[in-house]
Structure 1
Amino acid sequence: MITSASNMQMKNLVRLQKKGRARREQDVFVVEGMKMYREAPREFIEKVYISKSFSEKAEAGELLGGRNVEVVDDRVFQSISDTKTPQGILAVIRRQHYTLEQVVGGEKPLVLVLENIQDPGNLGTILRTGEGAGVTGIVMSADTVDIYNPKTIRSTMGSVYRMPFCYAEDMDQVMRNLKQKGISVYAAHLKGSADYDAVDYRGSCGFLIGNEGSGLSERLAAQADGYIRIPMCGEVESLNAAVASAVLMYEAFRQRKS
């Protein structure tokens, strides 16, 4: 049993929780809790850590049979956890890699293109909602928050394992790629001339979603096939990025299933 926070494995787990660079260099990320462990692809699980108190539960043996497991003193486990009330199980997962072709390919794709999203919770919620709404892939600009940030991972509720995604250095190339594939892309924009539910999304299409504070850059928005808007009452100008994404994704979902 690991009883010291000075243990090299414990120090590395803290680095993985806090540093995107460490996650990139080791090509892994950390998940916490029963749900995130249960849903993780078995072949991507590198190692599992459980608290001493969790190891004494009847479900531990059934859940962890045959796994490479380290038992950690409860106090030390608390120090490596990113949550205030850890469930007693934490796993190191190998990162999955998708090409742009995998993310935007397929038959009749529905794609999200995210530019400079900065809030980890927003990004995680977008992934989770995207899976629910039938989105086939998500492309993110290089300056978007790290998808493997612990807060993002928790917000995905497991969707990070199943939703194809990639980061792109050259968003102009992404747009050219989408157009070459016949994917119509609509920018969620305050200058939108059409209400979001007045456009046909039954074919191959995608949505551009911009930064929480400043929206889409003019350069990227100008490459869209059209600007769409979500009507607002009162003095509200715009919705939270995750909420706006959900509205658009579920309108496409509604149209496609009818």
Structure 2
Amino acid sequence: MLESVHNEQVKFVASLQRRKVREETRLYVIEGRRFVEDAVLRNAPIEKVYLNLKREQTGWQSLLAELKKRNIPFAEADERVLRKMSATEEPQGILAVVRQIKHTWADVHIDRGSVLLILDGIQDPGNLGTILRTALAAGVRHVCLTSGTVDVYNPKVLRSTMGALFSLVLLTGVSPADVMLFCQEQGLRVFTGDTEGQLLYRTDFSKGPVALVVGNEGNGPSVTFRNADVQRVTVPMAREVESLNVAIAAGILLYETVRQRDFL
């Protein structure tokens, strides 16, 4: 039982709430029973689980049995220790340290039905997490995050994904120029959200592999995408509305694309 907040193991897990440490160690923390169970079931590379068995007895045994079956280390920790390691004021009694998976372009397999989602400079953690969750729900599995996008392992992003990142191929920190080069080499038609583009419902997404670019909340897509040979698409809005939340706009764009392609 871990009972001291001064324990080196406890302090290390707590340090993973900082982006710099996550980047150096290639580790991150997930919290909550549902999140941890999802990680176990989807074979996420879990390093260790920390839980308070006194917090909730019902159902713990089945989770412990699964951890033992998969040879995942776990340790009991009291409430003070969990609070020290957690990013929330009221931890849910369980958290886990998970190793980041580093995907490369070689993991992005393009065929005629592929939809590649490109998130360019998204800053709000809640927006990013919601977009990733929506992408998975829409059947999109490959996502590129350009440099300047909020850290996908930020605790707020993780909570918003609801475990979606365990089923996605995520390329992080890529440059817009590299994205465009990949799209050109693979023959993807590139569409980007733009307030002055062609109306979404008059745009044909049905033919061949496509890439969808969703830009920064305030500035839209970066210069590289604005200057490239891409098709600009706008979501129609009533005159009283200036703009949509980027996560909502991304969801509309994703679902219209997959609707035309009969993915669902």
Q: TM-score, normalised by structure 2?
A: 0.91
2:2 is aligned with what amino acid? I
Shift of the 249–92 alpha-carbon distance from structure 1 to 2, 3 Å rule, reads same
- Tell me which residue corresponds to 2:170: 165
Instruction: Report whether the alignment pairs 1:225 with 2:230.
Output: yes
Residues 140-179 of structure 1 correspond to what in structure 2 (within 5 A)? 140-179=145-184
Equivalent of 2:136 in 119, 131, 138: 131
CA distance in 2, matches of 1:103, 1:236: 37
Cα deviation, 1:126-169, whole Å, max 9, x if unaligned, reads: 11000011113111111111101111111111111011110244
Report the CA distance between 1:52 and its aligned residue. Answer: 4.6
Cα deviation, 1:27-86, whole Å, max 9, x if unaligned, reads: 1111111121111144611100002523x6142222112142111111221232222332
1:195 is aligned with what amino acid? L
SS of aligned partner of 2:59: helix
CA distance in 1, matches of 2:44, 2:237: 46
Report the CA distance between 1:225 and its aligned residue. Answer: 2.1
1:47 is aligned with what amino acid? K
CA distance in 1, matches of 2:172, 2:81: 34
- Checking the alignment, whether the CA contact within 8 Å between 1:187 and 1:224 is kept in structure 2 is no
CA distance in 2, matches of 1:6, 1:87: 21
Instruction: Report whether the alignment pairs 1:196 with 2:237.
Output: no
- Tell me which residue corresponds to 1:44: 45
- Tell me which residue corresponds to 1:3: 3
Structure 2 stretches lacking a partner, 5+ long? none
Shift of the 180–20 alpha-carbon distance from structure 1 to 2, 3 Å rule, reads same
Aligned residues: 255
CA distance in 1, matches of 2:44, 2:144: 25
- Tell me which residue corresponds to 1:85: 90
2:46 is aligned with what amino acid? I
Shift of the 219–163 alpha-carbon distance from structure 1 to 2, 3 Å rule, reads same
Structure 1 stretches lacking a partner, 5+ long? none
- Tell me which residue corresponds to 1:53: 54
Indicate the larger mover: 24-33 or 72-81.
72-81
Residues 69-108 of structure 1 correspond to what in structure 2 (within 5 A)? 69-103=74-108, 105-108=110-113
CA distance in 2, matches of 1:45, 1:149: 17
Runs of 4+ in 1 over 3 A off after TM superposition: none
CA distance in 1, matches of 2:128, 2:109: 18
Shift of the 224–122 alpha-carbon distance from structure 1 to 2, 3 Å rule, reads farther
Instruction: Report whether the alignment pairs 1:35 with 2:40.
Output: no
Residue identity over aligned pairs, in percent, reads 37
Q: TM-score, normalised by structure 1?
A: 0.93
Shift of the 25–130 alpha-carbon distance from structure 1 to 2, 3 Å rule, reads same
